[in-house]
């Protein structure tokens, strides 16, 4: 009886109505009808032929354009996101969760929202939310060049400041450890005294002179590293050079990822325009800007991108004829364009030509079988035709391909008796081409433009500010032929050079030890005097190393040659200073603030602290607390390392003359020294008069 009630109205309409049903129907062989087992129950005979025809007389109508989407526009989702950020500043956690939930409800795949949600969850130690957000964030970074560009900008800015802090700590530790050597060499250079008396205030001239040149932060470190690179040897020279080269690499402006990133963070770029046009509600001003750009463009690839975005906007306004024309022009240029194929099929579906829409979807599936949007859109057509099993199968295939239905598409179409379908936006390759097209409009390193006065001298590119001193240091090292000479007295450890040393038994001694050796008449007396002197100087050197380790963690280990321990402690200092001074501003979800691209009045200080003051969350913010904890840990380790620094440090360098020497060996030693080291003063041999 129920079956008769269902089939009778359709039969009456088909026989008496003036026009056939506007819906396309499946073609069924009238001679031999086979009942699909999916439509057959245990005791009920049913087939698609007996289902009533469904009219599709309600077609989406053309709508007037909406207001342009802004940050405060409730249709874009950014409005809720802005409210969530404002609530975070007020410490209103319930409002943060509610507004963020609303923003993700409007745009659940927005990587910007998800990234900021993960950061906020970390602040309150909400681990489950972070774990749930990470897969979506990773998927967004893989699929969206815009999301990747924003991440590249943040990572680059973080790496620049972190490298600058580590380089600062390394230069300070190396400068303090080499202070006696620098004082010795500057004394020889300034006073031209053969004995080179040690004047410990002389190394202060180096930073004073370089600061007077105003080279910027990184420029100052590069100039300081020239003097230090000449003085260092072995692992310390390698560590200093590696840090210097890392800074040069970060300042190199032509890296592909960094070159393509600026358009992704500029709200006025065409890349952002294309992205918003493909995902937001229709907007008259947005469409007008797309048309202006299209009329001014002669590049075929750019024209195709603009036409796809404009066609999607026109389709969402109900202007299917204009949208079809735009999609057709794209297909004339690129016959396999997936977005245009699906767009044409969607427009056909909204006109009520369901079988023709299915044919277009099948064509799009042939071109790109790995896209789940096709199956999802086909399922909506099947549901409209009441082919439930086919619709279910299409949905399952769509989900197997990793596509899940969004919840924010074309709600007006649902109100007009049509289930919403997906208009695929521009592909990742198209957006990358759009970024490459616009990247040339931005100056090099624009993402750290507000840091230029701080990091380097404005008249010169930052890359040259760093690379030129390195080349100068390399030339000086190659030009100076005495790089392998001993730098310390082999008895007491004081700084010396080829001009001021005294050579005895092939050992290089400082003037004091050499004078003692030349005046001594007895081997026993000489050995005692030299050992006492070396012991006293060794104890002073050990105490100096301990003081360095306590004042600057890592400096003592760097002086004593323990490079792994020094690198660890200097890294702790660098991370702590970075998090306190700048870690709080690297909020990857900030849509309108990027630390390196802000106006001067928006900064804490335009010269010394060009960071956005509005993002300062107070001294109790998580990055500041964590950075302070790292600094405290570094100094705690330094205090506990006092005993370890003393252990293994020799109290004396214990050079003693060879007692088994012939009386005439002194003259032979002098002549040998004169041959190998011209101009080197040599003390007389033991026992000589």
- Residues 552-567 have pLDDT tens digits of 998 888 888 888 889 9
Q: ∠ at Cα 230 (227, 236), nearest 5°? A: 100
**pLDDT for the residue numbered 58:** 44
The per-residue pLDDT for 344 is: 93
Q: What is the pLDDT of residue 468?
A: 92
Asked if residue 19 has pLDDT above 50, the reply is: no
Rg of the chain over CA atoms, in angstroms?
Answer: 38
232 touches 240 (CB < 8 A) = yes
Mean pLDDT of 640-665: 57
Which residue has better confidence, 55 or 575?
575
Going by pLDDT thresholds of 50, 70 and 90, the confidence category of residue 72 is very low
Whether pLDDT at 630 is above 50: yes
Q: Write out 329-382 in H/E/C secondary structure.
A: HHHHHCCCCHHHHHHHHHHHHHCCCHHHHHHHHHHHHHHCCCCHHHHHHHHHHH
- Label residue 299 left, alpha or beta by phi (over 0 means left) and psi (-120 to 50 means alpha): beta
In whole angstroms, give the CA distance from residue 668 to residue 661. 11
pLDDT at 31 over 50: no
This prediction's pTM: 0.76
Return the H-helix or E-strand segment holding 682.
strand 681-682
Distance of alpha carbon 70 from alpha carbon 625, whole angstroms: 35
pLDDT digits (tens, 9 = 90+) for 339-367: 999 999 999 988 888 889 999 999 999 88
Whether residue 418 contacts residue 329, with contact meaning beta carbons closer than 8 Å, is answered with: no
**Angle at CA 98, nearest 5°, toward 97 and 101?**
85
Q: Give the largest CA-CA distance in the chain.
A: 141
pLDDT (tens digit per residue) in 92-130:
888 888 888 888 877 777 777 887 788 778 777 778 888
Alpha-carbon distance 193 to 304, whole Å?
Answer: 76
pLDDT of amino acid 590: 56
pLDDT at res. 484: 74
Query: Band of the pLDDT at 225, cuts 50, 70, 90?
Result: very high
More confident residue, 600 or 309: 309
The mean per-residue pLDDT over the stretch 171-187 comes to 87
Nearest to 529 by CA among 490, 494, 491: 491
> Is residue 70's pLDDT more than 50?
no
Helix 428-439 to helix 145-177 angle (10° resolution) is 60
Share of the chain above pLDDT 70, in %: 76
CA distance 314 to 320: 7
Q: Is a pLDDT exceeding 70 seen at residue 666?
A: no
Mean of the per-residue pLDDT values of the chain: 76
54 vs 656, which has greater pLDDT? Answer: 656
Q: How far apart are CA 487 and CA 183, in angstroms?
A: 13
Average pLDDT over residues 368-396: 88
Write out pLDDT tens, residues 185-214.
887 777 776 666 777 888 898 899 888 888
Q: How far apart are CA 544 and CA 41, in angstroms?
A: 93
pLDDT 10s digits, 422-478: 888 888 899 999 999 999 888 888 888 888 778 876 677 888 889 999 999 998 888
CA distance 311 to 424: 11
The domains found in the chain, sorted by start residue, are: 78-143 (1.25.40), 269-438 (1.25.40.10)
User: pLDDT category, 304, cuts 50, 70, 90?
Assistant: very high
The tens digit of pLDDT for each residue in 490-536 reads 777 777 777 777 777 777 777 778 777 777 766 777 777 777 777 77
Predicted local distance difference test score (pLDDT) of residue 285? 86
Single out the residue of 548, 431, 439, 528 nearest to residue 174, CA to CA.
548
Answer yes or no: are the C-beta atoms of 109 and 116 closer than 8 Å: no
Q: Is the pLDDT of residue 223 over 80?
A: yes
Instruction: Determine the pLDDT at residue 572.
Output: 94
Q: What is the mean pLDDT of residues 71-89?
A: 68
Q: What is the pLDDT of residue 168?
A: 95
- pLDDT > 90: what percent of the chain? 21
């Amino acid at each position: 009886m129920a079956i008769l009630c269902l089939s009778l109205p359709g039969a009456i309409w088909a026989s008496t109505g003036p026009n056939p049903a506007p819906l396309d129907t499946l073609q069924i062989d009238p001679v031999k009808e086979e009942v699909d087992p999916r439509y057959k129950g245990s005791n009920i005979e049913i087939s698609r032929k007996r289902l009533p025809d469904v009219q599709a007389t309600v077609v989406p109508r053309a709508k007037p354009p909406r207001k342009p989407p802004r940050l405060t526009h409730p249709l874009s989702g950014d409005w809720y996101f802005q409210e969530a950020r404002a609530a975070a500043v007020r410490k209103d956690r319930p409002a943060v969760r509610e507004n963020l939930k609303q923003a993700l409800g409007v745009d659940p795949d927005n990587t910007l929202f998800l990234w900021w949600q993960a950061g906020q969850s970390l602040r309150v130690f909400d681990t489950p939310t972070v774990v749930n957000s990470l897969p979506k964030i990773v998927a967004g970074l893989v699929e969206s060049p815009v999301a990747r560009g924003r991440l590249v900008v943040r990572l680059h800015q973080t790496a620049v400041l972190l490298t600058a802090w580590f380089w600062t700590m390394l230069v300070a530790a190396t400068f303090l450890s080499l202070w006696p050597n620098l004082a010795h060499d500057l004394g020889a250079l300034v006073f031209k005294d053969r004995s080179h008396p040690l004047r410990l205030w002389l190394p202060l001239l180096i930073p004073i002179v370089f600061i007077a040149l105003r080279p910027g932060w990184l420029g100052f470190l590069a100039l300081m590293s020239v003097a230090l690179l000449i003085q260092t040897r072995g692992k310390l020279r390698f560590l200093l050079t590696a840090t210097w080269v890392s800074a040069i690499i970060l300042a190199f402006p032509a890296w592909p990822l960094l070159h393509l990133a600026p358009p992704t963070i500029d709200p006025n770029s065409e890349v952002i325009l294309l992205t918003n046009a493909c995902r937001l509600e229709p907007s008259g001003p947005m469409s007008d800007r797309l048309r202006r750009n299209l009329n001014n463009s002669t590049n075929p690839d750019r024209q195709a991108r603009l036409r796809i975005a404009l066609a999607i906007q026109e389709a969402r306004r109900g202007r299917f004829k204009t949208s079809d024309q735009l999609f057709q022009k794209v297909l004339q240029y690129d016959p396999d364009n997936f977005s245009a194929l699906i767009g044409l099929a969607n427009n056909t579906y909204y006109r009520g030509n369901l079988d023709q829409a299915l044919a277009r979807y099948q064509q799009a599936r042939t071109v790109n079988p790995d896209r789940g949007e096709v199956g999802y859109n086909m399922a909506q057509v099947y549901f409209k035709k009441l082919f439930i099993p086919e619709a279910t199968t299409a949905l399952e295939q769509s989900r197997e391909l990793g596509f899940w239905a969004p919840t924010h598409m074309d709600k007006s179409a649902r109100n007009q008796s049509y289930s919403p379908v997906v208009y695929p936006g521009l592909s990742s390759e198209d957006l990358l081409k759009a970024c490459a097209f616009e990247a040339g409009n931005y100056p090099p390193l624009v993402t750290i433009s507000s840091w230029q006065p701080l990091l380097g001298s404005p008249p010169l590119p930052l890359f040259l500010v760093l690379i030129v001193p390195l080349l100068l240091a390399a030339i000086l090292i190659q030009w100076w032929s005495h790089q392998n000479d001993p730098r310390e007295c082999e008895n007491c450890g004081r700084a010396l050079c080829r001009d001021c040393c005294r050579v005895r038994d092939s050992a290089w001694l400082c003037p004091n030890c050499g004078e003692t050796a030349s005046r001594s008449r007895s081997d026993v007396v000489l050995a005692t005097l030299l050992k006492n002197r070396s012991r006293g100087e060794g104890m002073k050197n050990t105490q100096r190393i301990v003081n360095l380790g306590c004042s600057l963690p890592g400096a003592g280990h760097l002086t004593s040659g323990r490079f792994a321990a020094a690198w660890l402690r200097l890294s702790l200092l660098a991370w702590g200073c970075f998090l306190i001074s700048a870690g709080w501003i690297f909020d990857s979800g900030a849509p309108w603030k990027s630390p390196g691209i802000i106006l001067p009045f928006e900064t804490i200080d335009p010269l010394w602290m060009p960071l956005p003051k509005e993002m300062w969350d107070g001294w109790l913010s998580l990055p500041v607390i964590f950075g302070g904890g790292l600094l405290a840990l570094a100094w705690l380790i330094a205090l506990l390392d006092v005993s370890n620094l003393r252990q293994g440090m020799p109290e004396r360098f214990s050079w003693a003359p060879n007692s088994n020497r012939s009386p005439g060996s002194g003259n032979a030693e002098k002549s040998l020294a004169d041959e190998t080291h011209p101009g080197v003063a040599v003390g007389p041999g033991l026992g000589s008069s």
